Chain A
Amino acid sequence: MKGRAISPGRASGEALVSREPLSFYGGVDPKTGMVTERGHELEGKCVKDKILVFPRGKGSTVGSYVIYGLKKNGVAPAAIVNKETETIVATGVILAGIPCVDGIDIDKIKTGDRLTVDGDNAVVELG
């Protein structure tokens, strides 16, 4: 699948998919990588080394710093795939150096799928 390059780099891993938008500030613990937002479909899941797939970010702009903190603490996702990356996530992945591609039809991806994300060429491959 071809999308738009948001942040460069290449990574492979297992998909962790959310159908709802994700707030990093207050929603993901930067020390452990656990999703902590009450009632979120990923609550209790860990984003570490996953290809994290969600439609878009939401919530406070401090979320950019949380994404950076995840990377610094070694619990960041290996890559991020969005339907549409808004500024909070774009800012976070670029500053943290996490590969990210948007403009992807994420309905075709399920949790557990094996994915390769190429942030240099804006390509996401299944399998």
Chain B
Amino acid sequence: MYLTKEQERMLSGEYGEVLERNFRLLVRLGEIYGADRMIPVGSVQVAGVSYKSIGDPGLEFLEDLADKGARVRVPTTLNPPGMDLEDWRELGFPRDFAEKQLRIIDAFRRMGVAMTATCTPYLVGNLPRFGEHLAWSESSAVSFANSVIGARTNREGGPSALAAALCGVTPNYGLHLDENRRPSVVIKVDAELRRESDFGALGYHVGKTIEKGVPYFYGIKDADVDQLKALGAAMAASGAIALYHVEGLTPEATLVTTGGLGTIEVGERELREAHEGLNTGREPDIAILGCPHASLAEIAELAGKLEGRRLRKPLWICTARATKRAAAEMGLVDKIERAGGKVVADTCAVVAPIERMGFKCTAVNSGKAANYLPGFCKQAVVFKSVDEILEMVT
């Protein structure tokens, strides 16, 4: 791989052990995947933040880096930790867990990472432009950045994203290159996508069916940002899908062709089967919305639906702290709390230790959450639309 003089010096240890090891990691990954050179990145989204996911080995690794003075060189935003960083006591998060989680957060803070604590960095200030090269982890954010914005990032792991943040570059391979952004399969949708959960069900079905590659969707007539976020998140959870195109909706759809590709048809029956396959529970102990993190529009919609109703079961809507602040100023948080619900900041159903908090069955409207909750959180899942979930818990 071609390296600049400056990069050679980094690799030889002239800038210290931290940069040497982290840059070596990027060089080796680049060699494994056949990169020709390094490219600068505009921003980094770093995952591997929840103590539940990375445990003591991850905690020690991050504290070591921070102790050695590691600092990020490019704007770097943070994935969700395993709890609400302010209201964790009130929400019932275990104290031993919280102490470790706060140490992880402190290590990231010392490295100069922005404390966004969200899987939707593009909603709270880390918004890339079309064609910009990034090193993002968090599969749903990767899918959104590549597909909805047309920025370019591979599906990074936590350490490789952090290495890119410390070195300011990433190896040039995979989705940074035009030829790998072309579609590999056509998905013909012949079904009404009415509810937000329909986009999750569609994403879950397609990810599970094709497993990898770049799907090109025909037949999705319209979708807002929140629906595309749900579609991509579910697809990235049930398959390793980091990029998709939708005719008429996503920016690269007109730049690629689909001639000669195999076609998979998805109709009402497939969507119904996906819904059924994700429903493993009946009576939820809690409903958790906001996977990926809810936008202000989604919080406003929920607040409206809760007006004049009283919840019988706990309901969380997870979002970024910045979004929660805006929602609070609009009076939306009060409205949700008056009905008995909570706006939970920072964390989410997937990375929080909900299995340790007495919950056995969780209702969600997210294809991604429905896919992960049985394995990561030992939950039975009720997967339905927001309206259906509210019928069950009010």
What residues of chain A have their CB less than 8 Å away from a CB belonging to chain B? 4, 6-8, 30, 61-62, 64-66, 68-69, 72, 85-88, 90-91, 94-95, 97
- A65 CB contacts on chain B under 8 angstroms: 48, 54-55, 57-58, 60-61, 159
- B48 CB contacts on chain A under 8 angstroms: 61-62, 65
- A95 CB contacts on chain B under 8 angstroms: 21-22, 25, 61, 159
Report the minimum CB–CB distance from B49 to chain A (whole Å). Answer: 12
B251 at interface by CB-CB < 8 Å:
no
Q: Tell me if A91 and B159 are in contact (CB < 8 A).
A: yes
Chosen A-B contacts, 7 in total, with CB atoms closer than 8 Å, are A7-B24, A61-B48, A62-B57, A65-B61, A66-B57, A88-B157, A95-B61
Name the residue on B nearest A61 (C-beta): B157
Q: Tell me if B157 and A91 are in contact (CB < 8 A).
A: yes
Cα–Cα distance between A21 and B32 once the two chains are bound (Å): 18
Report the minimum CB–CB distance from B7 to chain A (whole Å). Answer: 16
The 9 closest A-B pairs by CB, nearest first: A69-B57, A65-B57, A65-B58, A61-B157, A94-B25, A91-B159, A66-B57, A68-B61, A30-B57
Q: Given A87-B29, A91-B25, A95-B21, does the pair A72, B64 have CB atoms closer than 8 Å? A: yes
What residues of chain B have their CB less than 8 Å away from a CB belonging to chain A? 21-22, 24-25, 28-29, 31-32, 48, 53-58, 60-61, 64, 157-160
Supplied contacts A86-B32, A90-B25, 10 more A-B pairs, CB within 8 Å: A4-B31, A30-B56, A61-B159, A65-B61, A68-B61, A69-B57, A87-B29, A87-B160, A90-B32, A95-B159
Q: Tell me if A62 and B55 are in contact (CB < 8 A).
A: yes
Report the minimum CB–CB distance from A72 to chain B (whole Å). Answer: 6
Cα–Cα distance between A68 and B22 once the two chains are bound (Å): 13
Cα–Cα distance between A121 and B48 once the two chains are bound (Å): 33
Q: Tell me if A90 and B29 are in contact (CB < 8 A).
A: yes
- B29 CB contacts on chain A under 8 angstroms: 87, 90-91
Q: Given A64-B159, A95-B159, does the pair A69, B21 have CB atoms closer than 8 Å? A: no
Cα–Cα distance between A20 and B159 once the two chains are bound (Å): 25
Interface of A is mostly: helix
Cα–Cα distance between A67 and B22 once the two chains are bound (Å): 15
Q: Tell me if B60 and A72 are in contact (CB < 8 A).
A: yes
Cα–Cα distance between A97 and B31 once the two chains are bound (Å): 18
Q: Tell me if B24 and A94 are in contact (CB < 8 A).
A: yes
Name the residue on B nearest A6 (C-beta): B28
Q: Tell me if A94 and B158 are in contact (CB < 8 A).
A: no
Cα–Cα distance between A101 and B28 once the two chains are bound (Å): 12
Name the residue on A nearest B55 (C-beta): A62
- A8 CB contacts on chain B under 8 angstroms: 24
- A7 CB contacts on chain B under 8 angstroms: 24, 28
Cα–Cα distance between A33 and B29 once the two chains are bound (Å): 26
Report the minimum CB–CB distance from B247 to chain A (whole Å). Answer: 33
Q: Tell me if A87 and B58 are in contact (CB < 8 A).
A: no
Cα–Cα distance between A97 and B55 once the two chains are bound (Å): 21
Q: Tell me if B54 and A62 are in contact (CB < 8 A).
A: yes
Residue of A30, A65, A69 with most partner-chain B CB within 10 A: A65
- B32 CB contacts on chain A under 8 angstroms: 85-87, 90
Name the residue on A nearest B59 (C-beta): A65
Q: Tell me if B60 and A61 are in contact (CB < 8 A).
A: no
- A68 CB contacts on chain B under 8 angstroms: 57, 60-61
- A6 CB contacts on chain B under 8 angstroms: 28
Q: Tell me if A69 and B25 are in contact (CB < 8 A).
A: no
Name the residue on B nearest A68 (C-beta): B61
Cα–Cα distance between A87 and B35 once the two chains are bound (Å): 14
Name the residue on B nearest A30 (C-beta): B57
Q: Tell me if A62 and B58 are in contact (CB < 8 A).
A: yes
